[in-house]
Structures are given as C-alpha cells and as structure tokens.
C-alpha cells in the first residue's frame, strides 16, 4: 500500500523558512514523479515543485522559483521553503504519480494525474 505522510508545516513570519517532509512507503522512487501541491482557501490546488529520480528532473512553479528547493533521500521528499511570503499560506500536499501518467513540468505535474496523495500539512506565513 502506497502511503505519503507530510510533516513540517507551521506558522512562520514573512521572510522566514520552513522545511516540509514527505515520508513515502509502498513504492520505489524510480519511475515516479513526486512532489508538492498547495491549496489556499478559495483557490485551486496548484503544483509547486516536483522531483523525479530516473530521469533526474526537478520542476518549480514560477511563484516559488529561487525560493523553494526540492530534494529526496531515504524514501523522503523534502521541500525547503525560504523567503516565505504571506501568499505562500496554504495547505501543502505531497503527491506522486507514475511517469507514464505525469512528469515534472508545468503541464505534466497537475492534480488530476496524480495517483497518490498525502493528507497535507498547513503552512501559515504572517506579514
């Protein structure tokens, strides 16, 4: 059984940093695109960042490029979030899909092709 469990969310002031973690089980990273979506109140769920191991590709939404860094190690996926802004406030979800359904790009990392989801972790950035 595939499981994705997020942790690391919380409250932080603007300009601060947080690191989200996604612990995975039930599958191996090769052949999957894994990453993070977020959803703010009243808004659609958007792809934030994605990583695939084979091939080695990362993707960042324009809104987080240069501020967020995705990485993976030991069956975990991390999202280092720096220079946080109030508009980064949202529920953050870890998600995964096989590379024959999606991939790490702006048009390939979209909610409707993801096979697996975590329950999410909240991030609140105060101004």
Please report the pLDDT score of residue 27 as a whole number.
86
Q: Which tokens is 116 given?
A: 């697996």
CA dihedral for 11, 127, 21, 108, sign (positive or negative): positive
Tens-digit pLDDT profile for residues 25-46: 998 888 899 999 999 999 999 9
Q: Quick one: pLDDT band at residue 11, thresholds 50, 70, 90?
A: very high
Q: What's the confidence (pLDDT) of residue 84?
A: 98
Q: What pLDDT sits at residue 113?
A: 93
Over residues 62-73, the mean pLDDT reads 97
| Cα(127)–Cα(20) distance, integer angstroms | 20
pLDDT at position 14 over 90: yes
Measure CA 69 to chain center. 10
């Amino acid at each position: 059984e595939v499981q994705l469990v997020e942790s690391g969310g919380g409250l932080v002031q603007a300009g601060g940093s947080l690191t989200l973690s996604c612990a995975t089980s039930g599958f191996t990273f090769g052949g999957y695109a894994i990453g993070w979506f977020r959803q703010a109140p009243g808004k659609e769920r958007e792809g934030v960042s994605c990583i695939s191991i084979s091939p080695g590709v990362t993707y960042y939404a324009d809104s987080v490029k240069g501020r967020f860094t995705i990485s993976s190690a030991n069956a975990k996926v991390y999202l280092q979030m720096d220079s946080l802004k109030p508009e980064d406030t949202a529920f953050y979800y870890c998600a995964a899909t096989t590379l024959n359904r999606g991939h790490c790009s702006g048009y390939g990392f979209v909610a409707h092709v993801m096979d697996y989801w975590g329950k999410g972790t909240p991030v609140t950035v105060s101004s």
